Structure 1
Amino acid sequence: MDWFYSFPHMNDGSLSALRNAIDDGFRGFTRSYGDAIEGLFQPLQAFLIWAERLLTGTPWPVVLLVIAGLAWLASRSWPIVLGAVATLLIIGWFDMWTDTMRTISMIFVCTVIAVVIGLPLGILMARSDRLSRIITPVLDVMQTMPSFVYLIPVVMLLGIGRVPGVIAVVIYALPPIIRLTNLGIRQVDRETLEAARAFGSSPWQLLKKVQLPLALPTIMAGMNQTIMMALAMVVIASMIGVQGLGQPVLRAINNQYFTLGLFNGLAIVGIAIMFDRVTQAYGRRLQKHQEAMHD
């Protein structure tokens, strides 16, 4: 009756042979094409270095004014602006300014890449049910796969450093912007679309002047979630050399430095709250604007 209690499975020898074949194939691929693949990501490396040098090299009062200005333009809310400024001042007072700027530069680069990839994919999914059925399971895997797993193939291909960390973060943070772009465009009122077609709008004009503007609040919600998920990967990405607030947290875990981990962890939380409030406020403003236009 052992067969009844033990699930039928591949024998150990065959399973080991299969694993070894896959591992050897991936190692061979890495040795053969690793340098060429690494060369493809040189522009990303340059973008990362530029963003980091821009934020770390700019005097802190200028950075503070720029962030306050962006928060005001997005939210039109003084409490949110003052909250963002206070958060950054406290972070700087606790001597975490440079690491915070490195983290913000990484989040900025990851968000730009996610939008550049996710927005067109979401639009294509909204236009094609077949493509949506193909991509949706891939997004499910990307969202449910443990984040540590992303690091294995990326590190084997590209080694340790900023670029593999950013790639892993983008893979983890990409699904929300794709899903919510698709959802936002699909939820655009059919009567509005029919009216635009009746006035002779081409598919491109329909997308640019009707669908994207009406879907923008939902797309902004997707961007908000993408930023939050990217920030959630900060500590994990620090394991493969991404500099920022994640590295002190990792060092605190390894050496049992309670206050170091607590302060840097709270800094990550503060940045997350700041981004969340600003992007949510901007999304609400867009929503009110669209409702006013409909009225």
Structure 2
Amino acid sequence: MALCDSLPALLCKFPALSDSTIRAGRKTIDDGFRAFVRSYSSIIDAAVQPLQVFLNFLERLFVTSPWPIILIVMLVIVYLGSRSVRVTIGTAIAMYFIGLFGLWNDAMVTLAMTTVCTIFAVLLGIPIGILMARFDRVQAVVNPVLDVMQTMPSFVYLIPVVMIFGIGKVPGMIAVVIYAVPPMIRLTNLGIRLVDKEVLEAADAFGSSGWQKLRNVQIPLALPTIMAGINQTIMMSLAMVVVASMVGVGGLGKNVLGAINNQFFTVGFLNGFALVAIAIIFDRTSQAFGKRLQKHSEVVHG
């Protein structure tokens, strides 16, 4: 005899809403969302136009510039950031093989997208992280939002973004920024909160205002942690590029998606290798730069 046969029906079946009620509620929300998008589509397009222009400019710059110039500039940036000959040589070898297999242009498109997404994530994340560090109420409000953003499946971000902005590079960029900005916010908040209280008391004793303490004490001491946030933001941007290719973002992510759809093992492997190589270059450079900042901070305030 089944267990449910001896129990009240209410205990065996969850008292869910009826299908018609759920469908009506979903239809109301979806229709309202579409009506909102139709009503404000011109304002939305005007708001994202600067993003489109900036992304197109950077992408054109990376793709159309002679590859030796791009490679030299990249190696100079990597060396200045890491101060490591080994990392610089590794970057040169990785970029050489990316070009050798005909992936240079796609890598440049991905590099442009990652650069723009990282810039906007940093510009958005640092001020929010500072506000969270200075005001506990802001932290109480923002933390649950960040929890949702970090646990939500990445594909879900594409649904509202596509409904509002349509298909294209800018919607993909917005989805990448939403996915990548939480670590930037959290680590900025953490870095500022971890500044030694005695240092802040000394700044107060010298008559520093709140802005002066933030600019001259808290942000410099929190820079290593903020750099860790930038590192994580870059990694998450590169990880999201493949998913964002579903809404029109080109580059290596589009090639990986095409390889998955058509079961092209070699194409997927080569483009995945290129993404991993770019990720390792960014990771090693930003980590080395963060360690140098930490050592400098320890010497100055030590």
TM-score (norm. length: structure 1): 0.98
Aligned to 1:229: 236
User: 1:35-46 to 2 correspondence within 5 Å?
Assistant: 35-46=42-53
CA distance in 1, matches of 2:287, 2:29: 44
Indicate whether 1:247 and 2:246 are aligned.
Answer: no
Aligned to 2:4: none
Runs of 4+ with >6 A deviation: none
Aligned to 1:294: 301
How far residue 184 of structure 1 moved from its aligned partner, in angstroms, is 0.2
How far residue 115 of structure 1 moved from its aligned partner, in angstroms, is 0.8
How far residue 83 of structure 1 moved from its aligned partner, in angstroms, is 1.0
Aligned AA (1:171): I
SS of the aligned residue for 2:40 comes to: helix
CA distance in 1, matches of 2:96, 2:212: 45
> Aligned to 1:119, which of 117, 121, 126?
126
User: 1:21-60 to 2 correspondence within 5 Å?
Assistant: 21-60=28-67
Aligned to 1:100: 107
Residues paired across the two proteins, number: 295
Aligned to 1:78: 85
Aligned AA (1:91): I
CA distance in 2, matches of 1:4, 1:266: 53
Aligned to 2:218: 211
CA distance in 2, matches of 1:5, 1:228: 46
Indicate whether 1:149 and 2:162 are aligned.
Answer: no
1:241-295 deviations in whole A, cap 9, x for unaligned? Answer: 1111011111111111110111001110111111111111111111111112233
> Aligned to 2:184, which of 177, 184, 193?
177
How far residue 188 of structure 1 moved from its aligned partner, in angstroms, is 0.3
CA distance in 1, matches of 2:144, 2:45: 28
CA distance in 1, matches of 2:228, 2:105: 29
CA contact 1:38–1:157 (8 Å) conserved in 2: no
Query: Over the residues paired in the alignment, what is the CA RMSD in angstroms?
Result: 0.9
How far residue 2 of structure 1 moved from its aligned partner, in angstroms, is 2.5
> Aligned to 2:27, which of 15, 20, 32?
20
Deviates more, 1:273-282 or 1:25-34: 25-34
Aligned to 1:131: 138
Aligned to 2:11: 4
CA distance in 2, matches of 1:268, 1:34: 34
User: 1:240-279 to 2 correspondence within 5 Å?
Assistant: 240-279=247-286
CA contact 1:150–1:168 (8 Å) conserved in 2: yes
Deviates more, 1:120-129 or 1:35-44: 35-44
CA distance in 1, matches of 2:136, 2:93: 46
Matched-pair identity in %: 60
Indicate whether 1:220 and 2:218 are aligned.
Answer: no
Q: Which runs of 5+ in 1 are unaligned?
A: none
1:86-124 deviations in whole A, cap 9, x for unaligned? Answer: 111110111100000000000000011011111100000
How far residue 8 of structure 1 moved from its aligned partner, in angstroms, is 1.8
TM-score (norm. length: structure 2): 0.96
CA distance in 1, matches of 2:27, 2:92: 54
